[in-house]
Amino acid sequence: MRRYDAILPYLLLAPGLFLAAMIILMPLWQLSVLSFSDVNRFGVPRGLTGWDNYARIFADPDFYRAFWRTVVWTVGIVGGTILVAFPVALILNEDFAGRGVARVIVMLPWAMSLTMMAIVWRWALSGESGMLNSALIWAGVIERNVQWLAHGQTAFPMQIMIGILVSVPFTVTIFLGGLASIPDDLYEAARLESASAWQCFAELTWPLMRPFVNIAVVLNTIYVFNSFPIIWVTTQGGPANSTDILVTYLYRLGFRIGRMGEAAALSLLMFLFLLALTAVYVALATRKGRA
Amino acid sequence: MSGPGARRLRKSALCWLALSPLLVLCLFPYAVMFITAIKPASEVLRPTWWPSEPAWHNIVDMWNATGFGVALFNSVKVAVLSTAVALAVSVPFAYALDRFRFTGEGAVRQFLLVTQMLSPIVLVIGLFRLIVWLGLVDTTWSLVAIYGAFNIAFTVWMLQSYFATIPRELEEAAWIEGASRARAVAQVFLPLALPAMTVTAIFGFINAWNEFVIALTILRSDSSHTLPIRIFSLVAGRYTVEWHHVMSAALVATVPVAIVFSWLQRYLVRGMSVGAVK
C-alpha cells in the first residue's frame, strides 16, 4: 500500500503529461530538425544544412521590418492597454450608479473571439461602405471616406487600436483584483492624516498596484507578441507587407511561399524569446507571492 | 442641490462620462455586427447606420447559403470532445498536484507553465508536420487532440486552485469509515469539485470554439471547417463578400458564447494568471 502511494501521483500525472508532451515536444523536435534542414517547397526535408536557414532569415530585409513592426505592435498595445485599463479600473472600483452595467460593457470585447472581432472590424473599416467612416463623418471627425485598410499607415494603427480594445478587459480584471486586495483601512488612515487624493494615489494605490501592473505587462506582452488573427484577418500582413509582424511573416513563410526551413528557424527563435518572458513572469509572480 | 444624494448623482455622471469613449468603442463591434446582420441585402453596401426595415430572414438565408450547419456541428464536436479530453487528464493531474508531495513537482509545474505561455502559432509548423505524419490533415480529430492538450495547463490551474479549498478532512473521514482512496474521491471529493469542473469546462469549450490559427492550417475542405474558418473563408480572397451573411453568421456564432462568457468571466482570472493573482 505504501509503495503504491509513492507512485500514485506519477500515475495520475501520466496521461496529461503524455498528451502535453506529444503536442508540445514532438512539434518542437520537428521544428528543430526542419530548421537545420534544406526543405523544398513542398515541405520535404532534403538533408541537413547547418545554420543556413537561420542565416537566410537574418539576411532577409522583410524579417527586420517585421521585427521592428512587432516591437511597435507589442509596445503600442501593451502600453496603450495599461494606460487605458488603469484609470478605467480605478473608476470601476468606485461606487457609482450603474457600475454593474458599465463593468459588463467594458468586458464585452473579451467575450467575442479575436477572429470574429477582426472580421467585424474588416467590414467596419471598409472604405466605401464601412460603418466607421459613416460614424466619423456623422460626428464631424472626418470629411471624406478613409480607405483604412488600403495603406499600412492607416491600417496598422487601427490594428493596434483593436489590439488595445481586446486586451483592456483582461487587464482591467487583473487591476480590479489588485484594487480589491488593498485594505480600506489604509485609506481611512490616510484620510485621518488629511492626505490629498493625489497623495493617496501616489503613496498608497500606485505602490500597492505595482506587482499587478508588472504581471499585466508580462502576460499581455506574451499574448500580444503571439497575436495572429487581428492582422491576418484584416490585412494578411499586406498591402505589400506593410502590416507584417513576426507571426504573420512566419505564417506566410511557412504556408504561403513555401520556405518551411526558414519558418521553422524563426519559430524556434520566437519560442526561446517566449521562454525568457515566461521566466520573467515566474520571477515576478513568485516575488509577489512571497511579499 | 446638495446633500449625499446629489453628490452621488454627480459622481455617477462623472464616472459614466469618463468611461463613455471606451464604452462606445466596446459596443461598436457588436452594433456593426448586429445592424449589418439584419440589413436587407440591397442596403448592405450603403453606408447608412439603420436598415429601412429589419431583415430577420438574413439569418435563415445565411444558414443555407454558407453551410453554417456543418461548421456549427464541427465546432460543437471539436469543442465538446477536446474539453472532455482536457478534463479527463487534468482532474487526476490537478488532484495529484494538490494532494501529494512528490519529487519533480516543481519541474511538472514549470513544464505546465511553459505549455500555457506557448502560443500555438510558434508551434504551428511543427504541429502541421506531426499531423501530416499521423495522416490526420483535414480532420477535426486532430483539433480535438491539439486543443485538448493546449487546454491542459489552464484546466489544471483552475481546478487546482479550487481543489485546494476542499478540506482534506472530508476525504480522511471517509477513509476512517473504511472507504478506499478511489471511493473517497468519487463519492466525497468529485461531487464537491463539480462546480469548478463545470466552469473550467465552459472556458475550455470557449477556447476551442474560438481557436483560429491551427484550424486554419489543418482544415482544408468545407465539410471539415469549424465556424471561425468557415466565416473567415466567406471573407478572405473573395471579390464580392455577402457581408450581411457574414455578419449574421458571426452574430449567431458569437452571441450565445458571449452571454455565457460574460456571466462566468469573473472566474477566469484564476486560471489565466496561474494562481499569482487573486
Q: Which residues of B31-69 are buried (b: 16+ CB within 10 A; e: fewer)?
A: ebbbbbbbbeeebbeebeeebeeebeebbeebbeebbbe
pLDDT tens-place string over residues B60-115: 889 988 889 999 999 999 999 999 999 999 999 999 998 888 888 888 988 888 88
Distances in Å between the Cα of A26 and the Cα atoms of A31, A153, A264 are 9, 40, 13
Cβ atoms of residues B226 and B74 within 8 Å: yes
Average pLDDT taken over every residue of chain A = 90
Please state the φ and ψ torsions of residue B219, each to the nearest 5 degrees.
Answer: -85, 130
The CATH homologous superfamily for domain A60-290 is MetI-like (1.10.3720.10)
- pLDDT-based confidence at residue A221 (cuts at 50, 70, 90): very high
At residue B277, does pLDDT exceed 70?
A: no
At residue A44, does pLDDT exceed 80?
A: no
- pLDDT-based confidence at residue B276 (cuts at 50, 70, 90): very low
The amino acid occupying position A149 is L
The CATH homologous superfamily for domain B69-218 is MetI-like (1.10.3720.10)
Nearest to A278 among B25, B113, B125 (CB): B113
Question: What ipTM was estimated for this complex?
Answer: 0.89
pLDDT tens-place string over residues B104-116: 888 898 888 888 8
Cβ atoms of residues B262 and B194 within 8 Å: no
At residue A114, does pLDDT exceed 90?
A: yes
**Residue B112: its chain A contacts at CB < 8 A?**
20
Count CA atoms within 13 Å of residue A41 on its CB side.
2
Nearest to B277 among A15, A145, A215 (CB): A215
Residue showing cell 487624493: A197
pLDDT tens-place string over residues B254-265: 998 888 888 887
Mean pLDDT of A92-112: 91
Cβ atoms of residues A219 and B272 within 8 Å: yes
The three cell numbers of residue B196 are 469548478
pLDDT tens-place string over residues B125-139: 999 999 999 999 999
**Chain B contact probe: residue of A3, A7, A12 with most B CBs at under 10 A:** A12
- pLDDT-based confidence at residue A72 (cuts at 50, 70, 90): very high
Nearest to A123 among B48, B89, B247 (CB): B247
Nearest to A113 among B48, B146, B228 (CB): B228
Q: Could you say which DSSP state residue A182 is in? A: S
**Residue A34: its chain B contacts at CB < 8 A?**
125-126, 129
Predicted TM-score (pTM) of the model is 0.90
Residue A15: per-residue pLDDT:
94
Tell me the nearest-neighbour CA distance from A130 into chain B, angstroms.
Answer: 6
Residue B271: per-residue pLDDT:
56
Would you say the C-alpha torsion B209, B212, B216, B217 has a positive or negative sign? Answer: negative
* Domain boundaries defined on chain B: 69-218
At residue A230, does pLDDT exceed 50?
A: yes
Nearest to A113 among B12, B121, B210 (CB): B210
The amino acid occupying position A222 is I
Distances in Å between the Cα of B223 and the Cα atoms of A20, A95, A228, B70, B245 are 28, 51, 24, 7, 19
Q: Picking from B21-30, B166-175, B212-221, which range would have the lowest pLDDT averaged per residue?
A: B166-175
- pLDDT-based confidence at residue B2 (cuts at 50, 70, 90): low
Question: In chain A, what percentage of residues exceed pLDDT 90?
Answer: 54
**Residue B117: its chain A contacts at CB < 8 A?**
222, 274, 277-278, 281
How many beta-carbon pairs under 8 angstroms link A with B?
A: 289
At residue A1, does pLDDT exceed 70?
A: no
Mean pLDDT of B230-252: 90
- pLDDT-based confidence at residue B273 (cuts at 50, 70, 90): low
Instruction: Tell if the CB–CB gap between B117 and A274 is shorter than 8 Å.
Output: yes
Instruction: Tell if the CB–CB gap between A229 and B108 is shorter than 8 Å.
Output: no
**Residue A91: its chain B contacts at CB < 8 A?**
15, 18-19
Mean pLDDT of B162-185: 86
Query: What is the SS3 string spanning chain B?
Result: CCHHHHHHHHHHHHHHHHHHHHHHHHHHHHHHHHHHHCCCHHHCCCCCCCCCCCCCHHHHHHHHHHCHHHHHHHHHHHHHHHHHHHHHHHHHHHHHHHHCCCCCHHHHHHHHHHHHHCCHHHHHHHHHHHHHHCCCCCCHHHHHHHHHHHHHHHHHHHHHHHHCCCCHHHHHHHHHCCCCHHHHHHHHHHHHHHHHHHHHHHHHHHHHHHCCHHHHHHCCCHHHCCHHHHHHHCCCCCCCCCHHHHHHHHHHHHHHHHHHHHHHHHHHHHHHCCCCCC
* Domain boundaries defined on chain A: 60-290
**Residue A24: its chain B contacts at CB < 8 A?**
114-115, 118, 123, 149
Residue of B nearest to A107 (CA): B262
Question: In chain B, what percentage of residues exceed pLDDT 90?
Answer: 49
pLDDT tens-place string over residues A172-215: 998 998 898 888 888 888 888 888 888 888 888 999 999 899 98
State the Cα–Cα distance between residues B240 and A98, nearest whole angstrom.
Answer: 43
Mean pLDDT of B190-209: 89
Instruction: Tell if the CB–CB gap between A129 and B45 is shorter than 8 Å.
Output: yes
Instruction: Tell if the CB–CB gap between A124 and B145 is shorter than 8 Å.
Output: no
Nearest to B250 among A116, A129, A178 (CB): A116
Residue A119: per-residue pLDDT:
95
Mean pLDDT of B239-266: 88
Choose between B123 and A282: higher pLDDT.
B123
Average pLDDT taken over every residue of chain B = 88
Residue B146: per-residue pLDDT:
95
